[in-house]
């Protein structure tokens, strides 16, 4: 699986907020020393470009880094893992519970969906909108928990 990521390199510290959008791998300032630049690039490589998981899908085994997963959803009896609108795979012999165990950073938003809150553009009690336009709907039972976890992540 191939993914595109962006590393911001700028001398304007006020652009740091742009570095928190999905698929932005990091924020490097022009005033960095060679050692700081090298360490920053290595951190980006380790986080995003070194696959650390494999999972069986209907089309074969895929390797990925957990931070690339946008959400996991159960539709009927089938579990899907999504890396974006154009990259969705049907999983083989998986349950939502097992997915939550192997991907603990994903937040359960209802009985059949887990979401990576790093990909959430906006949140209301009734829905989450991801940066790619996907809309997910937390259950009434999970709404407070989802909002609390989301707020802790951005503070």
Task: Determine the pLDDT at residue 84.
Answer: 84
3-state SS, residue 73: strand
- The listed range with the strongest mean pLDDT (29-33, 53-57, 141-145) is 141-145
Co-location of 31 and 62 in the same domain: no
3-state SS, residue 136: strand
Burial class (CB in 10 A: 0-12, 13-18, 19+), 140: exposed
3-state SS, residue 3: coil
Co-location of 11 and 64 in the same domain: no
Co-location of 39 and 81 in the same domain: no
The tens digit of pLDDT for each residue in 100-153 reads 999 999 999 999 999 999 899 889 989 999 988 999 999 999 999 999 988 887
The answer as to whether 111 is a domain residue is yes
Average pLDDT over residues 51-77: 88
The answer as to whether 1 is a domain residue is no
CB distance 113 to 136 below 8 Å: yes
Task: Determine the pLDDT at residue 43.
Answer: 74
Task: Determine the pLDDT at residue 28.
Answer: 65
13: domain range? 6-49
For residue 23, pLDDT beyond 60: no
Angle at 67 between CA 62 and CA 70, to 5 degrees: 80
Co-location of 69 and 57 in the same domain: yes
Co-location of 60 and 130 in the same domain: yes
CA distance 70 to 22: 9
Task: Determine the pLDDT at residue 134.
Answer: 94
The answer as to whether 25 is a domain residue is yes
For residue 2, pLDDT beyond 50: no
Co-location of 75 and 126 in the same domain: yes
Co-location of 82 and 137 in the same domain: yes
**143: CATH:** 2.40.50.1020
The answer as to whether 145 is a domain residue is yes
Co-location of 11 and 44 in the same domain: yes
Cα atoms in the 13 Å half-sphere on the side-chain side of 71: 27
Number of domains in the chain: 2
Task: Determine the pLDDT at residue 29.
Answer: 65
């Amino acid at each position: 699986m191939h993914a595109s990521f962006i590393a911001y390199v700028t001398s304007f510290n006020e652009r740091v907020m742009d570095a928190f959008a999905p698929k932005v791998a990091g924020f490097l300032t022009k005033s960095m020393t060679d050692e700081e630049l090298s360490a920053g690039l290595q951190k980006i490589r380790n986080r995003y470009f070194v696959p650390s998981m494999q999972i069986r899908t209907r089309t074969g085994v895929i390797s990925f880094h957990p931070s690339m997963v946008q959400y996991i959803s159960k539709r009927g009896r089938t579990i899907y893992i999504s890396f974006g609108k154009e990259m969705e795979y049907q999983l083989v012999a998986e349950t939502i519970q097992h997915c939550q165990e192997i991907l603990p950073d994903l937040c359960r938003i209802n009985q059949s969906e887990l979401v990576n809150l790093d990909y959430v553009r906006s949140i209301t009690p009734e829905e989450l909108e991801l940066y790619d336009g996907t809309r997910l709907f937390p259950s009434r039972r999970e709404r407070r928990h989802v909002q609390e976890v989301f707020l802790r992540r951005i503070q």
